[in-house]
Amino acid sequence: MKRIFGLVIIGLAVGIAGCNDPKETDCIYQDERFCDPDFNGGDIGRGIVEFSGNVSNYDSKVMLEDFTGFRCTNCLPATVTAQNLKEFYPDRLTIMGVHCTSFFAAPLTDNPDEPYYLDFRTPEGEEYVNHYQIAGLPTGVINRQGTESTSTIPFSQWEGRVESLLSTNNPEVYIDIQDVVLNEDSTEASVHLIAKPLISSTKSYLLNVAITEDGIQEAQKNSDSPGGEILDYVHNHVLRYSGYGPFGIPAFTGDVSLATNQALAFELLVEINDDWVRENCEVIVYASDEQSLNVVQVEETHLLE
């Protein structure tokens, strides 16, 4: 569990708006409350706080979403590329392995003793397929951006894009995950964080929280392996859950009035599935530009410390 450093609540609740026109008949959210068109996601804002942290040496971080599937015969090189980048930039790169589409990620059996039994798909992952108009795998987005001509970016360009984004190192938003608290039966986690814009603007920002899991053994198709598959493959960074839909919910604006030693406090909630190994799970919090949906900053921590 992460400690909270010198926070003092001053007040001023931060309200949020509702989801962008959710459909009652075609709900894309795991949390079915979001299917209700009158549901506004609850109040995640916990007011303005004073904190003793120093943001002068704060680095920008990058989020890479690897769209993949265990039945994709050509996806493994992309996953290896992402993992190599993570090892090179361990503290500045976050990976979400988004298993998606029925063709590449649907289970092949209902027998748990046979390969290709697990289902890593999420409602959010399927929404990303539609949003980015993904025609084939592997592919990805970096900070929710593709190339100048396509909505996604091929893995051959991931290294150059990550390097370019990190070299700029001009973070737009500050995020600090202060604490992750599980409820008594470990079915829900409260993620406490502080955030603030670092660049004054008229932008509105979304916040979201996701859970990824490492160390899941399940078969993987791979055209370069004997028999075209790796039966004892270990999947890492698997997207398990997105707390507030595929893109998040409005949280604050770039022109919010804050002193240098002040930030906005938030509490985000995530449901925890019994099938997940909690010790292998990461909590990912990210802020996005509400208009473009581009990720402007991301932070991660262990679900359990």
DSSP labels, 27-51: ---SSGGGGSTT------EEEEEE-
What pLDDT digit, counting tens, does each position of 159-197 carry?
999 999 999 999 999 999 999 999 999 999 999 999 999
Number of CB atoms found within 10 A of residue 230's CB: 18
Question: 124: part of which helix (H) or strand (E)?
Answer: helix 123-131
Is 199 contained in some domain? yes
**Strands 238-242, 204-213: parallel, antiparallel or unpaired by DSSP?**
antiparallel
Domain count for the chain: 1
pLDDT confidence band for 10 (50 / 70 / 90): very low
Q: Are 288 and 52 in contact (CB under 8 A)?
A: no
pLDDT of 60 reads 97
Please tell me the distance from the alpha carbon of residue 211 to that of residue 153, in angstroms, as a whole number.
23
Contact (Cβ atoms closer than 8 angstroms) between residue 265 and residue 196: no
**Predicted structure pTM score:** 0.88
User: Is 2 within a domain?
Assistant: no
The model's pLDDT over 196-234, given as tens digits with 9 standing for 90+, comes to 999 999 999 999 999 999 999 999 999 999 999 999 999
How is residue 47 written in tokens? 């007011």
Q: Is residue 3 part of a domain?
A: no
Residues 6+ apart with CB under 8 A from 8: 49, 50
Instruction: Tell me the C-alpha distance between 171 and 150, whole Å.
Output: 25
> What local confidence, expressed as pLDDT, does residue 51 receive?
86
- pLDDT of the residue at 41: 56
- Report if residue 116 sits inside a domain: yes
Domain residues for the domain of 153 are 8-302
pLDDT tens column, 23-79: 344 554 445 545 555 545 567 999 999 988 778 889 999 999 999 999 999 999 999
